[in-house]
Structure formats: C-alpha cells, structure tokens
C-alpha cells in the first residue's frame, strides 16, 4: 500500500461528502456532531493522526535506530498522550503542564524530552526526580541549574544541548528558531565552553547528545538536511576535542502542512526518509558511530487531523460590497490568522454540494478585535445557521487558545469509524469564574 502523507492534504484523510450533502469526518456527519456537542467544535480524525505516524515511521525505517518524538506544544491532552504512545513515539514537553499531562496519562518517562528556553528550577527538578526524562539544555545557566539540582538530589541529570545551527527555513519570522540571533539554544561558538562545563560537572551531568530545531511550517527539505550536516560536524568536533561519542541526535521538527492549495510541503514520509538517509551518510562520511536519531514533528502529525466546525451567526454586506460572515468562534480558538496572517480553507459543512461564490466574503470571528478574521477571502455563501468547517486546525489552535472576551474554550472530539468521543470538554461559564476571588471588602 502506498504511504499517505496527510501533511500534503488540506482535509483529513477520512473527509467525505455523505448522502445528505454534509461533510463527514471519520464516518461521522459533522452536522450531527455540531448538534450533539455544540459549536465551535474541534473534530480530530484519529485515522489521519495514525497515518501521519505511520508515514513518519516508514520514512525513518531506513535508519537502524530512529524514533519520532511528538511535539506536544502543537496539541496535547491525555488522550493524545495515549495515541502518541500507541504510535510508538516519544514526547517533547515544554512546560510543567505538558509534563503533568504526560505523567497523568502514564506516558513512559524515558521517552519524554523536556524543552524550553527558560525552564524553571521546579521543571528541572521534576525531570531529574522522575529519572527518565531527558532535559534539552538551552543555555549555560540552565546547565548550571541542572548540575546544582542533580547534586542536591545526589543523582545525574540526562541532558542534550540545543544548538543554534544558523539555518533559516522558509517560514514566518515569528516561527523561525534556528537563525543566528535566536532566543533558543546555544550559539555554535559557545558549544565548546558548555561541553567543558559538562566535563567539570561530570558527576551530575550525563551528556547524551545535541539538538537543533530550525523553525516551524517549513515546506522545503534542504534546510533540514543542512542542519543534519552541521550537527554531524559538531559530533565530529565533540569526539576529537572532548573524546565524547554522543549516543543521541535530535534534529527537531518543523515540517509544514497544507493549509491552502498553494502550500506544497514535502510529504512527511519523504522528510523522514531524507533526514534519515542524510544522517546515515553524514555520520558515515565522518567515520562516526551512528547515534539514535530523533525527530520532533508536531504540526505535521496533528495539524491535518483537526477541523473546526463553527455556526454562522449574522451576515452583513457593507455599501462598498464587503461581505461578512460572522461565526461563533475566532481568534480565541484560532489565534494563528491574527498572530501571523495564517491562511485556511473553509467549506460550508451542511451544504457541501452548493456552488461556490464568484465574489469573496470574509469569515470573521465574534471577538472584539477588527483583526479577528479567520479567512479573509472565502469563495462561499453562507446564511445564519449554516456550519462552516475550517480544515487543518489540529495544530497550534487548542494549544494556543485563550479565554478572550471571557469565552470558554471549545470542546474537542476524536472521531473514528462512526464513533465520536469527547477528549476535551467545553469550558462553561462556571469554569470561567472558577478562579475568581472577590475580596470581602468589595462585597457590599
């Protein structure tokens, strides 16, 4: 069977138009889902997630010892931890909350990698006490904190060091991370000094490898391959200068997905395969032992699986001809358009066979910002009560969502073969006030 790479598709792999002319996902009618669970609603297609995981695994299979780590920042909840585990992947976490979610879901601790450019002492302590998670060190001061905590706990911290490879992928400047002036990681010319600090703290620090991550939503392969070469050079230097053979190599994530027709990302299968092949050749050429190869995709695993269903409230036509279709969600459930001009593909989920419109309308959110526009130019017509489905919202939507205007975050359902199960409950008004406290003196 040919390997499907869901990151090349706009819609989830199970998306269909059913006999009623409705969008169905995972054999669930989205109109029924909207009735049952309300809107806005995130619909996550399990099959799309699993196929992305399969494509990744197949691509990596040319390498003797490789593993995907799912980047939890893209979307994390307890059910997702279970799916990640079933796919045989490890997990990249960046906060106490993500770590707690993984721990509560019983995620294997030796497959957890702790990232972030400003880890707190308690995050570092938790990782060390758990005796399994690896800490990806971002600076000399973080390394020193790690050594101090490990010394107090009379143990050794397992670490990787994140370097800045000075490679820039083809993406928005807010989400590049591997450029020379990045806030993430250690500049290449400071790596030696950090490794000296590791050597000076050898009883507290076990250095397992190096890590680099160049950015997110990158569609080209070349920047990833260039990063592999740079890392291989560093492994060579680390061996010759410091006598260290590092057993792990983490080349990060960042592969793009298809939000609109014009997006043509490398398929996840190809990405994994080429990264694996380049690692093989780069380490062979330098006569180095092969480390375990880790890659950290987030968006390309979960992004294509998610679809947001909104209900149209009011529509409006301005004298200059501008058409507005207002829906019941917006920037609080999907801050990507207002944050970096992200584009999406919408459809009318309850009238999939209706002709498209010749003139564009703007699909706007319900939040109090003029920039709260989900799709600027949508070639569709919609009336009050219609359902708008917006594809490829699985990544960096729920995880970046807010309670702006005191609205609760929507529910999230996982669909598979006609079954729909809640994996994250909708937040209600009581949730919104649950942390409020009123000082006694204000009460009368």
Nearest Cα residue to 71 out of 254, 273, 292, 268 = 254
Q: Does 142 bind ligand PLP (CB under 6 A)?
A: no
Considering the complex, what minimum distance in angstroms separates the CB of residue 305 from ligand PLP? 13
Give the nearer residue to ligand PLP in terms of CB position, either 300 or 311.
300
Distance from chain centroid for Cα 277: 24
Q: Quick one: which segment of 126-134, 142-150, 275-283, 296-304 binds ligand PLP (CB under 6 A)?
A: 296-304
Give the footprint of ligand PLP on residues 195-214 (CB under 6 A): 213
Q: Which residue has the tokens 């498209």?
A: 356
Return the number of other C-beta atoms located less than 10 Å from residue 362's C-beta. Answer: 16
Q: Which residue is nearest to ligand PLP (CB)?
A: 298
Q: Quick one: which segment of 143-151, 247-255, 336-344, 347-355 binds ligand PLP (CB under 6 A)?
A: 247-255
Gap between the Cα atoms of 281 and 290, Å rounded: 10
Q: Does 115 bind ligand PLP (CB under 6 A)?
A: yes
Q: Does 12 bind ligand PLP (CB under 6 A)?
A: no
Considering the complex, what minimum distance in angstroms separates the CB of residue 37 from ligand PLP? 26
Give the nearer residue to ligand PLP in terms of CB position, either 7 or 238.
7
Considering the complex, what minimum distance in angstroms separates the CB of residue 1 from ligand PLP? 25
Residues 6+ apart with CB under 8 A from 263: 219, 256, 257
Draw the binding track, 373-402, toward ligand PLP (x: CB under 6 A; -: no contact).
Answer: ----------------------x-------
Give the nearer residue to ligand PLP in terms of CB position, either 11 or 255.
255
Nearest Cα residue to 342 out of 260, 272, 282, 424 = 260
Catalytic (active-site) positions: 368
Q: Which residue has the tokens 């059910």?
A: 79
Nearest Cα residue to 127 out of 105, 103, 104 = 103
Structure tokens given for 131: 């005796």
DSSP state of 381: -
Q: Does 74 bind ligand PLP (CB under 6 A)?
A: yes
Q: Is 253 helix (H, G, I), strand (E, B) or coil?
A: coil
Query: How far apart, in Å, are the Cα atoms of 129 and each of 133, 137, 152?
Result: 9, 17, 11
Give the footprint of ligand PLP on residues 159-188 (CB under 6 A): 177
Q: Does 73 bind ligand PLP (CB under 6 A)?
A: yes
Binding-site ranges for ligand PLP (CB under 6 A): 71, 73-74, 92, 115, 177, 213, 216, 252-255, 296-300, 395
């Amino acid at each position: 069977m040919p390997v499907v790479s869901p990151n090349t598709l706009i819609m989830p792999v199970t998306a269909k138009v059913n006999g009623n002319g409705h969008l169905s996902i995972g054999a669930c009618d989205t109109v029924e889902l909207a009735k049952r669970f309300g809107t806005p609603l995130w619909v996550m297609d399990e099959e799309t997630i699993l196929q992305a995981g399969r494509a990744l695994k197949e691509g990596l299979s040319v390498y003797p010892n490789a593993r995907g780590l799912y980047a939890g920042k893209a979307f994390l909840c307890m059910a997702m931890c279970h799916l990640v585990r079933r796919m045989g992947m490890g997990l990249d976490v960046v906060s106490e909350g993500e770590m707690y979610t993984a721990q509560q879901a019983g995620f294997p601790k030796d497959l957890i990698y702790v990232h972030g450019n400003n880890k707190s002492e308690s995050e570092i302590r938790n990782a060390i006490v758990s005796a399994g998670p690896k800490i990806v060190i971002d600076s000399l001061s973080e390394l020193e904190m790690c050594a101090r905590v490990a010394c107090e706990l009379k143990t050794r911290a397992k670490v990787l060091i994140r370097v800045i490879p000075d490679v820039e992928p083809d993406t928005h400047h807010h989400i590049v991370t591997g450029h020379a002036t990045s806030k993430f990681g250690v500049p290449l010319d400071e790596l030696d000094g950090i490794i000296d600090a590791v050597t000076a703290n050898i009883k507290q620090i076990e250095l397992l490898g190096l890590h680099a991550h160049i950015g997110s939503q990158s569609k080209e392969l070349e920047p990833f391959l260039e990063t592999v070469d740079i890392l291989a050079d560093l492994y060579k230097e680390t061996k010759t200068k410091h006598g260290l053979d590092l057993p792990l190599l983490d080349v990060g994530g960042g592969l793009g997905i298809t939000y609109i027709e014009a997006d043509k990302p490398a398929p996840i299968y190809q990405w994994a395969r080429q990264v694996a092949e380049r690692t093989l050749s780069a380490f062979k050429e330098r006569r180095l032992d092969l480390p375990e190869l880790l890659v950290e995709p987030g968006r390309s695993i979960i992004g294509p699986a998610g679809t947001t269903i909104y209900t149209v409230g009011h529509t409006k036509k301005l004298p200059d001809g501008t058409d507005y279709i207002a829906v019941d969600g917006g920037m609080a459930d999907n801050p990507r358009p207002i944050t970096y001009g992200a584009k999406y593909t919408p459809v009318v989920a309850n009238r999939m066979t209706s002709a498209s419109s010749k003139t564009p309308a703007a699909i706007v959110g319900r939040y109090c910002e003029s920039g709260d526009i989900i799709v600027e130019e949508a070639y569709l017509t919609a009336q009050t009560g219609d359902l708008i489905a917006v594809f490829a919202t699985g990544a960096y939507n729920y995880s970046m969502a807010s309670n702006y205007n005191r609205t609760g975050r929507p529910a999230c359902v996982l669909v598979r073969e006609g079954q729909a199960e809640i994996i994250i409950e909708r937040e209600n008004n009581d949730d919104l006030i649950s942390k409020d406290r009123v000082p006694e003196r204000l009460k009368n």
